[in-house]
Structure 1
Amino acid sequence: MGRRKKGDIVNGWLVLDKDVGPTSTDMVNKTRWLLNARKAGHAGTLDPLASGLLPIAFGEATKCISMLVDAEKTYTFTIRWGVQTETDDREGAAIATSDNRPDADRIRAALPAYLGTVWQSPPAYSAIKINGERAYDLAREGDPQDIPERQVEIHELDLLDMPDDDHARFRMVCGKGTYVRSLARDLGRDLGTFGHVADLRRNAVGAFTEQSAISLAEFTALCDKRAGHEALLPVETALDDIPALALTGEQANRLRNGQPVRVLNFTSPDDQTICVMHDQKPVALARYRAEMVEPVRVFNL
């Protein structure tokens, strides 16, 4: 007899407005405990320094995490000029200083070089694995690694304001794998000084925005009233930006059994990931190819 799984079956998304301080894993563990949920995970790490949107998936929503990790994200952040730190944010020790301070005109003139497809070196203190070990673990052990450059997409980058000569606030819309800390480091060097992230907030992840977010304190209060499920969004909310295809009950059952289904008069590029629906509920994440719909991840809803 198999071991009985612990926890309740909970399906959906919690869009948590994370405070500065706790880790993303801390928040997953805490909210999972509050709901007594059997399964949970998050869609994109937020550093302890950062606040803002942390989408947490429960149950069948965890099958959509990869889609949300790849989604467009929006950040607002402040760069502190004149100081380079070992972590490229305010938590690290200062390792270099400069008296140079860029003005608003110089900053705006430098920003277009960071738009589009650009090369970026991740920070030495990052979660990237090197020979099976996290880069931040190696750095903390005194062996920081030079991580190879990688291409990232930055769609928008704007200077919002400058509270004083030492600080500048920005808004950025970017694709997956983009490090705000790397941008602060590189932009500081391009402007003839140093820079690190003084504060950081994630404002949007794919279809999730601040309007749908809830703080941990608010969520805890709901759970104390046994109303925590009221804060959850449907599984398919994370899939709003991919094509949807409605199928008949017979076709949906074939997909649930792992069998492909032929669909005519559906316009989509080959190898496009789509969300298959039946009776207004998600059936599967599927791949469309040459009039055939092939299941990739089947939902048990």
Structure 2
Amino acid sequence: MQGFLNLNKPFGWTSHDCVARVRKLLRLKRVGHAGTLDPAATGVLPIAFGKATRLLQYLPSSKAYNATIRLGVRTTTDDLQGEIITSAPCPGLSLAEVKSLLPQFEGKIEQIPPSYSAIQVDGKRLYDLARRGEKVEVPVRTVEVFQIEILDWREGEFPELDIAIACGGGTYIRAIARDLGAALETGGTLAALTRTESSGFYLKDSLTLTDLEAQLQAGTFCPMAPDAALQYLPSVTLPATSAQKWCQGQRIPVPDVSGIVRVYEEETRFLGIGQSQDGVLIPQMVFEPIS
């Protein structure tokens, strides 16, 4: 079995937990995921199995989330799973004040990831260093936020803002919550997070682990085709003779195509990923060799 699973990750599970569970349910060793989600986050976690794990690196990096930001609170982890650093009610805060600051979090922005994150510094994960109480300088990253849309606003001593965020890979929504709170001078932390899109997979099409188990027991589970998540890439179709040569590592002349492409034999058989430059198609990853 090989292909992709659009998994709806449950609350409290790590991405590694989900991979381990899918590996056990499918009885496969080769299982991997794209785009790690924090344990407290739910939503889309793309999972590949079999030879499709080799295609994870070619998935698009776009992401989308629905997030709830609680203002007036700061925590060690920049979400409600951490210890409270400060808690100061701000009942007078208005939605207009929040709206005026949101544009500074759109576009290409510089962001300091949370101290409790999987980023490595000198070969060590930040969350491991943080748990040991070690102080390290977290490197600034440039990320891109395409759009922030306000979904709801709830007044109170600790107002909550619901937003939808579309962004590029590597963006930390916890950092946006923290930095919005800092800009408002109230403090802020992430109260809830659901990923609604990741690498071309959408929440509305996802399966829970319970769904997966039920479909496997009923014999109705049908994995997504290995090339289904790669439709954003242009494609090249080769005749049978050229396809065989390409699968054997040879370079094939192809006009009018450049960059990373999907490669097919006579439009139906997915062969793998190639790179076209200067009119020549170079094998990058042969998924389905021709004997």
Partner of 1:111: 102
Deviation at 1:248, TM superposition (A): 1.2
Matched, 1:139 2:130: yes
* Map of 1:149 onto structure 2: 140
Task: State whether residues 60 and 300 of structure 1, in contact with CA within 8 Å, keep that contact through their aligned partners in structure 2.
Answer: no
**Distance in 1, Cα, partners of 2:203 & 2:45:** 10
1:88·1:182 contact (CA, 8 Å) conserved in 2? yes
Q: Are residue 274 (structure 1) and residue 261 (structure 2) matched?
A: yes
Equivalent position SS for 2:260: strand
Which of these residues, 81, 85, 104, is aligned with residue 71 of structure 2? Answer: 81
Determine if the alignment matches structure 1 residue 55 to structure 2 residue 46. yes
- 1:71 paired residue number: 61
1:33 equivalent in alignment to 2:21: no
Unmatched segments (≥5 aa) in structure 1: 1-9
- 1:11-30 to 2 correspondence within 5 Å? 11-30=2-21
Distance 1:259 1:225 in 2: 44
Decide whether the 8 Å contact of 1:64 with 1:238 is kept in 2: no
Question: How many Å separate the matches in 1 of 2:49 and 2:246?
Answer: 22
How far residue 202 of structure 1 moved from its aligned partner, in angstroms, is 0.3
- Structure 2 length as normaliser, TM-score? 0.94
Structure 2 Cα separation of the partners of residues 206 and 56 of structure 1: 11
The 2-side partners of 1:206 and 1:23 are apart by: 19
Q: CA separation in 1, counterparts of 2:16 and 2:179? A: 29
Identity of aligned residues (%): 35
For residue 199 of structure 2, the aligned residue among 193, 201, 206 is 206
- Matching of residue 182 in structure 1 with residue 175 in structure 2: yes
User: How big is the shift at 1:144?
Assistant: 3.9
Tell me the distance in 2 between the aligned counterparts of 1:135 and 1:179: 14
The separation in 2 between residues aligned to 1:196 and 1:146, in whole angstroms, is 21
Q: What is the root-mean-square deviation in Å for CA atoms of aligned residues? A: 1.4
Per-residue CA deviations over 1:31-80 (Å, capped at 9, x if unaligned) read: 11111123110011111100000110011211121122x52111001001
For residues 147-198 of structure 1, give each alpha carbon's deviation from its aligned partner in whole angstroms, at most 9, with x where no partner exists: 1111101101111111333211010000010000011111110111111110
Q: 2: CA distance between counterparts of 1:164 and 1:214?
A: 34
Q: TM-score, normalised by structure 1?
A: 0.91
Q: How many residues align?
A: 285
Amino acid at match of 1:247: L
- Mapped to 2, the partners of 1:144 and 1:19 lie a distance apart of 32
Out of 270, 278, 285, the residue aligned to residue 290 of structure 1 is 278
Q: Is 2:225 the partner of 1:234?
A: yes
218-227 vs 24-33, greater mean Cα deviation: 218-227
- Measured in 1, the distance between the counterparts of 2:58 and 2:187 equals 35
Corresponding position of 2:152: 161
